[in-house]
Amino acid sequence: MMNGKTALVTGASRGIGRAIALRLAREGMNVAIVYAGNTAAAEETAQGVREAGAQANCYACDVADEAAVGALCKRVAAEMGPIYALVNNAGITRDKLAAQMKEEDFDAVLDVNLKGAFHFIRHTYSGFLRQRAGRIVNISSVVGLMGNAGQANYAASKAGLIGLTKSIARELAPRGITVNAVAPGFIDTDMTRVLPEAAKDALTAQIPLKRLGSAQDVAEVVAFLCSDGAGYLTGTVIPVDGGMAM
Ligand code: NAP
């Protein structure tokens, strides 16, 4: 039963993370909404969660800051009870061809996308062990499976998340905690809205289902992975990409 349990969703102020928060709230989960700085957007997500009849608290926290993540995980457990579902969704891009990509562009993307997830896993680990139950879902990307010109940093971070997922899945499986990754394709959010129309058209042409995905498409799969029905899936990577990476 997901009803009444707590989910922590990073990057839940906007886009895919918001859709995940709202979808989990529909299952009765209370949601800790973690975001970087956009308080108005986070409050809007929280309002949606409350309208679904669940509890929501907003927490501003840079996922790349390990000390801040440690303090946050303690605070969430104290204010909302043990974290049953951890969804590592916060992510950024700093796209450039590798020759122009500075070390700081590489590090910033790895720090948020990959180390951010590791920090949350590390600081919820003992809580999961105590519960002997729970779900971790990491939001990777098809780019982590296929690579993409101009996204060496992003692809490395998303491929890294897959290795992280499988390793933690093996560590936590004996206690009945599942750890999976979702690999979205081209999803219509703020992250992709910045692309020129011509680039979007070219990308859409490569998608067998011939449309961009929605944040809702991804949220449905994450909700399934957090459900009791997904109890025998662990260490998997589920593409939600309209067939793009097959
Ligand atoms: P988005 O619309 O750009 O939203 C990004 C979210 O992450 C926001 O909630 C933002 O908070 C938060 N965030 C960014 N940096 C953070 C930090 N350092 N600490 C805490 N929170 C931070 O992104 P999206 O498109 O929904 O993407 C969500 C995830 O899906 C990302 O991991 C992305 O890589 C992945 N993904 C997206 C697509 C796509 O096509 N959109 C495809 C594959 C995978 P603020 O609102 O406070 O800034």
Tell me which amino acid residue 30 is: N
State the CB neighbour count (10 A cutoff) for residue 62.
Answer: 18
Q: Which ligand 1 atom is the nearest neighbour of the CA of 41?
A: 46
In the predicted model, is pLDDT for residue 47 greater than 90?
yes
Mutate to test the pocket of ligand 1, among 10, 16, 18 (most ligand atoms within 8 A of CB): 16
* 15 touches ligand 1 (CB under 6 Å): yes
User: Band of the pLDDT at 125, cuts 50, 70, 90?
Assistant: very high
Residue 47 alpha carbon to ligand 1 centre in Å: 19
Closest Cα to atom 39, ligand 1: which residue? 187
pLDDT in tens, 57-66: 999 999 999 9
Distance CA 180, CA 169 (A): 7
* 24 touches ligand 1 (CB under 6 Å): no
Residue 90 alpha carbon to ligand 1 centre in Å: 4
- What is the rounded average pLDDT of the residues 224-233? 98
In the predicted model, is pLDDT for residue 32 greater than 90?
yes
In the predicted model, is pLDDT for residue 144 greater than 90?
yes
pLDDT in tens, 147-201: 999 999 999 999 999 999 999 999 999 999 999 999 999 999 999 998 889 989 9
* 37 touches ligand 1 (CB under 6 Å): yes
Place of tokens 């349990």: 5
Closest Cα to atom 31, ligand 1: which residue? 91
Task: Name 130's Cβ contacts closer than 8 Å, sequence gap at least 6.
Answer: 82
Give strand ranges (E) for the chain.
Answer: 6-10, 30-35, 56-60, 83-88, 134-139, 177-184, 237-240
In the predicted model, is pLDDT for residue 1 greater than 90?
no
For helices 116-131 and 152-172, what crossing angle results, to 10°?
Answer: 10
Lowest mean pLDDT among 202-206, 219-223, 237-241: 202-206
pLDDT score of 195: 87
* 189 touches ligand 1 (CB under 6 Å): yes
Backbone angles phi, psi at 30, to 5 degrees: -80, 145
* 160 touches ligand 1 (CB under 6 Å): no
Closest Cα to atom 38, ligand 1: which residue? 187
Place of tokens 């899936």: 233
pLDDT score of 91: 98
Choose, from 59, 84, 154, 232, the residue flagged as catalytic. 154
pLDDT score of 7: 98
Please report, rounded to a whole number, the percentage of residues in the chain having pLDDT higher than 90.
96
Q: In residues, how long is the chain?
A: 246
Has 35 been annotated as catalytic?
A: no
Contacts 24+ apart (CB under 8 A), 46-52: 48/18, 48/21, 48/22, 49/21, 49/22, 49/25, 52/22, 52/25, 52/26
* 20 touches ligand 1 (CB under 6 Å): no
In the three-class reduction of DSSP (H, G, I as helix; E, B as strand; rest coil), residue 10 is classed as: strand
Mutate to test the pocket of ligand 1, among 9, 43, 62, 92 (most ligand atoms within 8 A of CB): 92
Q: Indicate the pTM of the whole model.
A: 0.99
